[in-house]
Structure 1
Amino acid sequence: MLRAAGIGTGDEVIVPAFGNVEIAEAVVLAGAVPVFADIEQSTYCLDPAAVAASVNSRTAAVVVVHRFGHPADVRRLRDVGQRHGVLVLEQGELDAPFDELAQRRAHAAYLSGRLSGVVTPDGAEGHGYQQYVVRVPGNGRPDRDAFARSVRAKGIDCRVPVKTPVHRTPKFWRDVCLPETERAADETLALPVDASMSRRDLQRLVSACNALGGLLQPAF
């Protein structure tokens, strides 16, 4: 996609650091340099304001990723691209069949209405819930990891969606300030929301998480 757009040596491409390393690798394979911009707190997708602040004379493109099924603000990002003469490319997530998608959304609505002690997804229109990602409040990564261990001990599958932001990996290390990216990496946890889950499965998940709410008090 990048090569087809004529992007190569000497170009810079703005990408998110919150997510998989494959996007940055694709930029390098095209001969360009990845530049990492911060994400929005609520969507986990590129922040249009952060993208605009990262544009310079070498910027050729922006790669937008729709994260966890939450759609990025493509309209604002395209506005940034038009103002600066920068190409905006989308890297979408595969969607599910309608029935499965509707079931996931129903499960997500059930969880969002009953979970306490965690910050639930914002429920934006169009959210596909490829992953149901919550934030564990408290003191960042130690509390999130302790929460995850406790939930797993109760037989609930969960996982950290992004363990290390790309700009903190050895291959792509950058001395840049991406506060929302790093905060999200420290606080987020993906809970199961598979279409195959029963109401009893969801109730067990809610009970396991809510029982830990009193442990999530920030230290002062």
Structure 2
Amino acid sequence: MLRAAGVGAGDEVVVPAYGNAEVAEDVVLAGAVPVFADIDPASYCLDPQAVAAVVSPRTAAVVVVHRFGIQADVRRLRELGQRHGLLVLEQAESETSPLDGPLDGLTLRRAHAAYLSGRLSGVVTPDGGEGHSYEQYVVRVPGNGRPDRDAFARAVRAKGVDCRVPVKTPVHRMPRFWRDIQLPETERAADETLALPAGAAMSRRDLQRVVSACNALGGLLQPAF
């Protein structure tokens, strides 16, 4: 899509650093330069204000990634694009299990997310804003950032709960795309976030196991806010 729109050598494309390197790699393949902007801490998607701060005369496009089933603030980003004459492209990030049907799976994921959010303690549960499809149920483990999150994840896995770190290294900290910039919300999210199981195939017993394993560790954590 970037090539088809005429984006190429000499152009800059604003992309998120919270996520995998795929989008930045696509920008490079088109001959352009990826420029990283910070995220909104609630949605994990590009923050329009942060995007505006990195727009330059060379900026040709913005690639918006909808993360974990949360929609980015596309309206504000498109308004920004119109003001600066930028192409705004959207990309969905799908982690949905093939077992999750398009309607029933969505309904169950939302129900499971509501169950977890109502019972978990010691972690910061997702902001269930309008349209959240919970393709991943991502919490934050507060405290001292990555050390506490990683210890929490090991303890939960030891109790038989499958969890994973959704973003281990922000793209701007990967050797190929290293930038000497600070993206505080991106870096904080990479240090604190943990994806807990909440798929449509889970039973109530499975969900109770997640709650029990997490809540047993809640008293060990000191909330960051």
With structure 2 as the length reference, what TM-score do the two structures score? 0.95
For residues 174 and 20 of structure 2, what CA distance do their matches in structure 1 show? 11
- The aligned counterpart of 1:100 is 105
Unaligned 5+ segments in structure 2 are none
Matched, 1:152 2:186: no
- The aligned counterpart of 2:81 is 81
* Deviations 1:124-167, CA, capped at 9 Å, x for gaps: 11111110000001000000000000000000000000000000
Q: Is the 8 A contact 1:112 1:121 kept in 2?
A: yes
Matched letter for residue 82 of structure 2 = Q
1:22-171 to 2 correspondences below 5 Å: 22-94=22-94, 97-171=102-176
Q: Is the 8 A contact 1:117 1:209 kept in 2?
A: yes
For residues 25 and 56 of structure 2, what CA distance do their matches in structure 1 show? 21
Matched letter for residue 134 of structure 1 = V
For residues 93 and 40 of structure 1, what CA distance do their matches in structure 2 show? 16
Look up the SS of the partner of 2:23 in the other structure.
Answer: helix
Deviation at 1:50, TM superposition (A): 0.3
For residues 93 and 148 of structure 2, what CA distance do their matches in structure 1 show? 29
Matched, 1:172 2:177: yes
Q: Is the 8 A contact 2:68 2:138 kept in 1?
A: yes
Matched letter for residue 174 of structure 1 = R
With structure 1 as the length reference, what TM-score do the two structures score? 0.97
Greater Cα offset, 86-95 or 156-165: 86-95
Matched letter for residue 25 of structure 2 = E
Greater Cα offset, 58-67 or 74-83: 74-83
Q: Is the 8 A contact 2:3 2:30 kept in 1?
A: yes
* Deviations 1:46-89, CA, capped at 9 Å, x for gaps: 00000001101000000000000100000011111111111110
Identity of aligned residues (%): 81
For residues 139 and 169 of structure 1, what CA distance do their matches in structure 2 show? 22
Matched letter for residue 127 of structure 2 = D
Matched letter for residue 71 of structure 1 = Q
Give the aligned CA root-mean-square deviation in angstroms. 1.1
Matched letter for residue 165 of structure 2 = V
- The aligned counterpart of 1:205 is 210
Matched letter for residue 10 of structure 1 = G
- The aligned counterpart of 1:18 is 18
For residues 198 and 207 of structure 2, what CA distance do their matches in structure 1 show? 8
Deviation at 1:118, TM superposition (A): 0.3
Q: Is the 8 A contact 1:139 1:218 kept in 2?
A: no
Greater Cα offset, 87-96 or 182-191: 87-96
Unaligned 5+ segments in structure 1 are none
What is the aligned length? Answer: 219
